[in-house]
Amino acid sequence: MTIAVERKGGTRARANAEGIINRPVAVAVRVSAAPRQRVVVSWGLACPKTDTGTDKGTGGSYTTTAPNVRALRLPRREIAFCAVRGEARLTRKGRVKVTLLGSER
């Protein structure tokens, strides 16, 4: 299922998407760009064990050539929900799209 989508265009365009998924079993970030080019992707994930709990969260970044899909490692098995964010930044002029994907229990 799609958690969130964001599109931007221009020189070194930057698209930010964020959303929440309940009881996730898998989460991924998908990026696409036109024209095809290198994209810098940053992501963040906070997944508390309970609805009222807190989580320090994890995150990272990587550089890839779009299109690309990358699964994000969930911190544990039993999760109430995850707050997910993803950002994709072009290295040249063009259009970029970042999509946050997930599967619920």
Cβ contact 45:27 at 8 Å: yes
The CB density around residue 35, as the number of other CB atoms within 10 Å, is: 10
Residue 53 confidence (pLDDT) above 80: no
- Indicate the pTM of the whole model: 0.91
Q: Which domains does the chain have, with CATH numbers?
A: 2-104 (2.60.120)
- pLDDT recorded at residue 12: 95
| Extended strands (E) in the chain | 2-11, 14-22, 24-34, 38-46, 58-65, 68-72, 81-90, 93-104
- Give me the pLDDT at residue 48, please: 83
At 23-50, the pLDDT tens digits run 999 999 999 999 999 999 999 999 987 6
Q: How far apart are CA 96 and CA 8, in angstroms?
A: 6
C-beta separation of 70 from 41 below 8 A = yes
- Could you read off the pLDDT of 4-16 as tens digits, one per residue? 999 999 999 999 9
pLDDT, average across residues 82-89: 96
